[in-house]
Structure 1
Amino acid sequence: MTTEVIDIVVDTVRTGFVGGGFMTRVHAAAARRAGAALTAVASSSPSRAQLVAQELGVARVEDDAARVIGAPDVDVVHICTPNATHAPLAAAALAAGKHVVCEKPLAISAADARALVRAADDAGVVAAVPFVYRYHPLVREARARAASGGVGALLTLEASYLQDWMLRRDDDDWRADAAAGGPSRAFADIGSHLCDLVEFVTGERIVRLAARTRRVYDERAGRPVSNEDLAALLVETGSGALGTLLVSQMAPGRKNALVIELHGTRRSIRFEQERPEELWIGARKASRLLLRDPATAAPDSARLQRLPAGHPMGYQDAFDGFVADVYAAIAGASPEGMPTFADGLRAAVLTEAVLEASASRTWIEVPA
């Protein structure tokens, strides 16, 4: 694994946003931190867009997404809209020659995601998907230790991503509507992050899997629901390591509990997203807790540590690091580990494999 220190000078990037929810706020904060000009925004209505522009300091409101995408003073379009709209909006932005940051899932089918990868390659632009948990410095530390042999040969892994925001029958969201959210909800929404992190840290692909999904409520707030609330997976990696993955949006008390633990022939290593300043390292005779410290970190971890040890970094810092890498890539750099549309395609392929495995109740070979 090679590491590049990003020291390229980035010209002011002119940024447009499509969408007006929570994720737009996160994207806008990261873009501002990266020195971008927040140029234009469109949302579900002009009044909504006006409110977002005032709150976030975006210079101009556009009537619709097409006007943001077509604006000559917009270099990169951030797509933060419901899932089913991602593919057509990303395709339109690519056709307009824009760089694109598209929220996951990149598309609600692997075929559409594959078409977007080809379109991005043909356009020669930067096209990224925010799998931002890669940007926690201690995730990079875990990855560096796995790559250097510190964990040894991978034997098993356990990983989970648990939330509780859809626990009750009257908890509702547009994601529960398959027409807007897609055929998968829990796995496409958060399981995609979990699998991306597993493959990113281990450096291995999930090559086959068995899965069960469950929809607890067939209706939410009086509206029919057809996508899943939770998923459980048994996976095998390219080296033969076995793993268990649990994904749920109905785990009481768990807010954003993403956990990955690897077990190798030399060490175990564990990262918890809600405790991002810590990395647990287990050994036969002694275990220890490693705290974030740029002075002792692997280079690819240290470059993301904008604050000294003892000054906590969190989710927004990880997102800031991702957007900074995207804008550096627009300026010509090649940041290590930046998630692209190819990674978005990978998530779509895994999502379809999980749904197929659950429906057939058989092991599924995951397409490369």
Structure 2
Amino acid sequence: MTHDAGAGSPSPLRAGFLGGGFMGQVHSRAARAARAVLAGVASSSPASAERAAATLGFERAYSSAADLLADDTIDVVHVVTPNSSHVEHALAAIEAGKHVICEKPLATSTADATRLADAAAAAGVTATVPFVYRFHPMVREARARVAAGETGRLLSVQGSYLQDWLLAPSDDNWRVDAATGGPSRAFADIGSHLCDLLEFVTGDRISRVQALKRTVFADRATSHAITTEDLVAVLVETRGGAIGTLLVSQVAPGRKNRLHLELSGAAETIGFDQEEPETLWLGRRTRSQSLRRNTDELSADAARLSVLPPGHPLGYQDAFNAFVADSYAAVRGGEPDGLPTFDDGLRAATLTDAVLASAGSGSWIDT
């Protein structure tokens, strides 16, 4: 479906968006940075689509998702709608022959995520999920160090993803509603990032989990009888035999978006903090150190993503830009390393269902 501008230069991809909220803003900046044309947007209503088009700079607003998907000039569709609608929209985009970037959680159940992963594979389209923390250069450096054996055999994992945006009972959002956001909130929304990063960096997989979850506020400003969790604690064991603890909370005072992962091997510990993404902490029995991003000292994959010189900090939007750029490269036939696909979205759904099952039963659940 991609178009050719002639003279050996492909024309820019034309991106259509379903949804125009906060994540629509982040995605649109990344699409623009990747030199895509912001072709159009559909939202919850024609009026909302018109506002999003004017605010974000789309060529036009569509009256419905169906109208946007019927436009044969659109190459790739970004699905940035509420969680419960991801399956409907992503499946329709695939059936329309579009490439798809779908916000996470890919789906609110393993069964639906499987449907989407299977549909994308059968259609042969590029279908990706923004596990964007993979795209920090120092995360790629951590991954390269583990793969090279610098850490030795992985022994233990400590991880947390902490926020405070739902700290007060007056704080409210559509995500707290299970009908709209899905049966899991904190874990599906941010715990999925933590688990994806753990498995991506280590090359190991979580083999079983035991979880506790809490809903701190059953009632909020306009939401009542809330069942989705505010925080969850998870014991994990990996297939390689490491054990660990993960804490996920949206009610941790002072923590805005703190994803922290610490991997302890027999020879070295590697620590990464998303709020300080320019640095890895390397813990050794002697001579522990902070390793700052310096392109000349990085692995090839980390250096590829290090698009600014050392001392010029790269952050969340830069990571998101790199994810979208790699997704678009895959649309054009490339095979970027580490690109998170619908299979990774399915993996996150599997882990989420296991965490909910464990929290409900009190038992270990295999993943």
Normalised by the length of structure 2, the TM-score is 0.96
TM-superposition CA deviations, 1:227-250 (whole Å, max 9, x none): 110000000001110010000000
Q: Which residue in the other structure is 1:136 paired with?
A: 136
Change in 2 beyond 3 A, CA 1:317/1:222: closer
Q: Which residue in the other structure is 1:326 paired with?
A: 327
The yes-or-no answer on 1:198 pairing with 2:198 is: yes
The yes-or-no answer on 1:268 pairing with 2:269 is: yes
1:9 Cα deviation from its structure 2 partner? 6.9
> How many residues are matched?
359
In 2: Cα distance, 1:35 partner to 1:223 partner = 40
1:47 Cα deviation from its structure 2 partner? 2.1
The yes-or-no answer on 1:348 pairing with 2:349 is: yes
Map 1:44-83 onto structure 2 (within 5 A): 44-83=44-83
1:223 Cα deviation from its structure 2 partner? 2.4
Map 1:1-368 onto structure 2 (within 5 A): 11-224=11-224, 225-366=226-367
Normalised by the length of structure 1, the TM-score is 0.96
Give the letter for the 1:228 counterpart. Answer: E
Change in 2 beyond 3 A, CA 1:223/1:139: same
In 2: Cα distance, 1:53 partner to 1:114 partner = 32
In 1: Cα distance, 2:52 partner to 2:282 partner = 43
In 1: Cα distance, 2:154 partner to 2:69 partner = 45
In 1: Cα distance, 2:125 partner to 2:197 partner = 25
Residues 41 and 62 in structure 2, CA contact (< 8 A), matched pair in contact too = yes
Residues 9 and 331 in structure 1, CA contact (< 8 A), matched pair in contact too = no
In 2: Cα distance, 1:164 partner to 1:219 partner = 17
In 2: Cα distance, 1:69 partner to 1:198 partner = 35
More off after superposition, 191-200 vs 54-63: 54-63
Residues 163 and 252 in structure 1, CA contact (< 8 A), matched pair in contact too = yes
1:301 Cα deviation from its structure 2 partner? 0.3
Give the letter for the 1:271 counterpart. Answer: F
Give the letter for the 1:109 counterpart. Answer: S
Q: Report runs of 4+ in structure 1 exceeding 6 Å deviation.
A: none
In 2: Cα distance, 1:339 partner to 1:68 partner = 25
TM-superposition CA deviations, 1:77-129 (whole Å, max 9, x none): 00000000001100000000100000000000100100111100111000000
Residue aligned with 2:296, SS: coil
TM-superposition CA deviations, 1:154-187 (whole Å, max 9, x none): 0001000000000111111000111000000000
Give the letter for the 2:55 counterpart. Answer: E
Residues 83 and 107 in structure 1, CA contact (< 8 A), matched pair in contact too = yes
Q: Which residue in the other structure is 1:5 paired with?
A: none
In 2: Cα distance, 1:223 partner to 1:52 partner = 26
1:10 Cα deviation from its structure 2 partner? 5.8
1:355 Cα deviation from its structure 2 partner? 0.3
Percent of residue pairs identical: 58
Q: Which runs of 5+ in 2 are unaligned?
A: 1-7
CA RMSD of aligned residues (A): 1.0
1:63 Cα deviation from its structure 2 partner? 0.5
Give the letter for the 1:41 counterpart. Answer: V
Change in 2 beyond 3 A, CA 1:239/1:10: farther
Residues 172 and 222 in structure 2, CA contact (< 8 A), matched pair in contact too = no
In 2: Cα distance, 1:264 partner to 1:10 partner = 46
Residues 15 and 75 in structure 1, CA contact (< 8 A), matched pair in contact too = yes
Q: Which residue in the other structure is 2:5 paired with?
A: none
In 2: Cα distance, 1:222 partner to 1:145 partner = 48
In 2: Cα distance, 1:10 partner to 1:140 partner = 29
